[in-house]
Structures are given as C-alpha cells and as structure tokens.
C-alpha cells in the first residue's frame, strides 16, 4: 500500500512533545515510499528536535516562522498550503489540537492548516489523562466533523511513567495510515517515460529541419500519468510548454539527443510512450557557417535518423511500449503495420490531415490499436484523450502481466 505515496506531497507539522523524535523516522519512511516531504515546526517542537535534523532528512528547508520576511515576500504560507496533498501533524500535542480545532492562526502551522485544501490528519501524542480530558475529546470531535483523519494514539508506557492511551503511533504505522488516505491509481508505482514535441536537425547555425508538433499531446499524457499515480520522466523536444506538475523533464533538441536521453531514462522503467514527432532525416553534416542564398536550387545530403521507439522495443529489458503514428492517409493500415514491424505493445494513430485535431490543436481524436483489438477515442480535448489513453495503457499492461519494477 505504501506505493500509493509515490509522488505525493506531504507537509509534516511537528508540534511540541517528546514524541517529536519520532518525526525523524517518519520522514525517512515517507521518503522511502516515494513521497516528497516538507516540514513545519512550532516553536515548542524546536525544543525537542532541531530544524537542521529534519532538514537533513527531508532534503528541504524546514519552515518555522509565520512572519519570515524572505518567505512571505512570495506569500510563503499560502504556497505551502497549495503545495501539499496531505498536511499531517505528528506529533499533535493537546495544545496544537485545540488551536487547530478552534481555527486559530497564530503560528505558521495553524495558518497553513486553515489555508490548505489538502487532506488533513493528526497523530496525537500526550499524557493519558490529557487524552481522556473532555475538552480534548470535544476538540477531536470538532476535527472529526471536518473530515480530519486521526491516527492513533497507541497505548503503553509514557515518558512521564504513566501507562495508557496517548503514545504516538510508530513511524511505519503512520506511513501506512497516510498511504491509506490515497486511492490506488491505475498506474500507481509505475515509472513511465514519455517523449514529446518535435526534434530539430541543424542545417547550419540558424536553420534546421523540423515539423509542426507542439508537444501538447505528450505533455497531456505526462499529466494524465501523474494523475494515475505514476512517476513520469518527460523527454521533451524544443517546445514552449510549462512542465506538468511533478514531472521530471529532460530537454533535448535533435533525434540523436532524444534517443540517448530515452535510453538512459527507460532503464528500469515500466512503460515507454513515444509521442514525439521525430524528424525522419537529418543533414549528413551541419554547416559551420550560415548557408548563403546563391544558386536557384539547393541540394541537401540527408541521412536517416535513429528509430527511437524501435530501439526501445528492441531492448532486452524492454518496458511496455506505446508508439504513435501521425498519418495523412490510410491511418489505421499504416499504424497496424508499424505496430507489427516495430514490435510495439500498443499504438495510437491520428489523421493529422484534419484541420480540427493534431498538430498545434488543443483537441485530438485517435484510434488505439493492439494485437488483439482496437478502440476509437472520439474528438475531445487533448487532456481528455490523454486520460482515456492512459486508462487503456494501464488495462493492456495489466492484461500482459506487466509487473511493477523495483
């Protein structure tokens, strides 16, 4: 179940209490599961464990002050609130629980708690008598009405010598509880490598051969894979598009650069989606200086570029391979030939001769083909088409028995 934490963003709030030492192990467990962790500490928490310790373990700066001039220049507390998928307060002291329940915002942690739309959870830690106090239980009831998850507490011997409920759950238990808050995506635990956009093949320092690909389809697929729970590496040709949230982007220019980046990224990956419009040919040698206009005609000596999707499909450790075919005639016929000839698991094809879909358009329509069948995806936005395609990829990969690689 911990695979559900892959790519998740967890903001860990640490309040004052001896159980704060467990937050160090919790951060390690969350990161081992693939989550990114940032930490907010209350002033009291800093008396039990240092920000430097949690910074070293999380790999991110620890946030401690609401009125930090450097952070607040960019409304830091709001950015933290927007960043998180889950805000977990562990340990959550009795005082902290009271302030969260009453909606106070007098420190950074309580302010972020109010400002976020993320999932909310607490892991109480306190003396057994404090845990049993009616006021504490009333505050817990208020939080429960607001869909705040309460993890624990456990029972046992406490630091004060008492025995009873109030011990914070162990790190491994809390990590598992966090994972339980997230639904399993169709690609949870998968690593997907995607190529997108055109390639440019230099003729001279100012000119190149390329095509009309905008990269929009590949970037939409990357975003859809993230939504489905995957870890995504996007090998992008020269396009003017923002990187989808949580996607690792590798920028390339030429087909040879794209092949090298794809070969490196795909090692150990579960899926490869060759959405890029790779130039078929490149000049045998690019001119060192700008080619001057002189004769009425110009002859170019071109050589074939590497076939990226075929190269990935031919690997001994090949992932599940999805190809693309942008055609102007006999779309399905050409795509089926490409599927067989290049030993692909699936291919998506579309008619780029249509003016309402394909290159530069925000919409698309395609036919997705595999050995045993095909499915038509009717015209829709590229974001919608991407989600439909990703669902098919997950279904077909499961049907072929693809196992998540460790």
Rounded to 5°, the CA angle 358-276-375 comes to: 55
pLDDT classification of 348: cutoffs 50, 70, 90: very high
Whole-Å CA distances, 385 to 190, 191, 358, 361, 382: 20, 20, 12, 13, 5
277, pLDDT greater than 70: yes
> Is 153 domain-assigned?
yes
pLDDT at 129: 87
pLDDT at 171: 92
Q: Work out how many domains the chain is built from and give that number.
A: 2
pLDDT at 127: 86
Q: In this predicted model, which residue has the larger pLDDT, 155 or 138?
A: 138
> Among 114, 145, 179, which residue terminates a domain?
179
Say if residue 308 is in the same domain as residue 170: no
Say if residue 265 is in the same domain as residue 308: yes
**pLDDT, tens digit, for every residue of 217-240?**
999 999 999 988 899 999 999 999
> Average pLDDT of 277-301?
91
The segment with the largest mean pLDDT, out of 68-77, 160-169, 240-249, 396-405, is: 240-249
> Average pLDDT of 263-273?
95
pLDDT classification of 406: cutoffs 50, 70, 90: very low
Q: What is the dihedral of CA 196, 197, 201, 206, to 10 degrees?
A: -140
pLDDT classification of 403: cutoffs 50, 70, 90: low
> Average pLDDT of 326-332?
83
Say if residue 157 is in the same domain as residue 80: yes
Residue 63 backbone dihedrals phi, psi, to 5 degrees: -100, 130
pLDDT classification of 72: cutoffs 50, 70, 90: very low
> Average pLDDT of 133-150?
93
Distance CA 76, CA 348 (A): 43
Say if residue 230 is in the same domain as residue 82: no
pLDDT at 184: 72
Say if residue 157 is in the same domain as residue 231: no
The enclosing domain of 242 has a CATH number of 3.40.50.10300
> Among 179, 207, 237, which residue terminates a domain?
179
pLDDT at 405: 53
> Is 25 domain-assigned?
yes
> Is 245 domain-assigned?
yes
> Average pLDDT of 93-108?
91
**pLDDT, tens digit, for every residue of 167-218?**
899 999 999 999 888 877 789 889 999 999 999 999 999 999 999 899 999 9
Say if residue 129 is in the same domain as residue 195: no
70, pLDDT greater than 60: no
69, pLDDT greater than 60: no
pLDDT classification of 73: cutoffs 50, 70, 90: very low
The parent domain of residue 158 ranges over 2-179
> Among 116, 151, 179, which residue terminates a domain?
179
pLDDT at 319: 95
Say if residue 91 is in the same domain as residue 237: no
**Mean of per-residue pLDDT scores for the chain:** 89
Distance CA 132, CA 146 (A): 21
Which residues are known to be catalytic? 160
The enclosing domain of 89 has a CATH number of 3.40.50.1950
> Average pLDDT of 280-300?
91
pLDDT at 327: 80
402, pLDDT greater than 90: no
């Amino acid at each position: 179940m911990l695979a559900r934490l892959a790519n998740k963003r967890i903001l860990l709030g640490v309040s004052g209490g001896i159980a704060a030492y467990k937050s160090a192990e919790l951060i390690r467990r969350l990161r081992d599961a693939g989550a990114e962790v940032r930490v907010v500490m209350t002033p009291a928490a800093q008396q039990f464990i240092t920000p430097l310790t949690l910074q070293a373990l999380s790999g991110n700066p620890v946030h401690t002050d609401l009125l930090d001039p450097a952070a607040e220049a960019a409304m830091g507390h709001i950015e933290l609130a927007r960043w998180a998928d889950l805000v977990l307060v562990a340990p959550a002291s009795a005082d902290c629980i009271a302030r969260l329940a009453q909606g106070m915002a007098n420190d950074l942690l309580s302010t972020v708690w109010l400002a976020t739309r993320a999932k909310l959870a607490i892991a109480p830690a306190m003396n057994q008598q404090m845990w049993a106090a009616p006021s504490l239980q009333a505050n817990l009831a208020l939080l429960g009405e607001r869909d705040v998850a309460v993890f624990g507490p456990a029972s046992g011997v406490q630091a004060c010598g008492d025995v009873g409920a109030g011990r914070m759950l162990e790190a491994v238990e809390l990590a598992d509880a966090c994972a339980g808050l997230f639904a399993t995506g169709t690609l949870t635990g998968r690593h997907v490598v995607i190529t997108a956009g055109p390639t440019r093949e230099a003729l001279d320092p100012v000119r190149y051969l390329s095509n009309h690909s905008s990269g929009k389809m590949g970037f939409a697929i990357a975003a859809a894979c993230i939504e489905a729970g995957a870890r995504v590496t996007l090998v992008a040709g020269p396009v003017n598009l923002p990187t989808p949230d949580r996607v690792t982007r590798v920028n390339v220019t030429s087909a040879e650069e794209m092949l090298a980046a794809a070969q490196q990224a795909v090692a150990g990956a579960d899926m490869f989606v060759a959405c890029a419009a790779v130039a078929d040919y490149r000049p045998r040698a690019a001119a060192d200086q700008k080619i001057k206009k002189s004769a009425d005609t110009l002859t170019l000596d071109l050589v074939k570029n590497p076939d990226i999707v075929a190269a990935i499909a031919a690997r001994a450790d090949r992932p599940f391979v999805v190809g693309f075919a942008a055609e102007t005639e006999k779309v399905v016929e050409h795509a089926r030939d490409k599927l067989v000839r290049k030993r692909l698991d699936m291919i998506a094809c579309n008619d780029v001769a249509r003016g309402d879909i394909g290159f530069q358009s925000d919409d698309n329509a395609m036919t997705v083909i595999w050995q045993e069948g095909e499915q038509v995806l009717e015209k829709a936005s590229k974001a919608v088409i991407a989600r439909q395609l990703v669902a098919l990829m997950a279904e077909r990969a499961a049907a072929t028995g693809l196992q998540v690689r460790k």
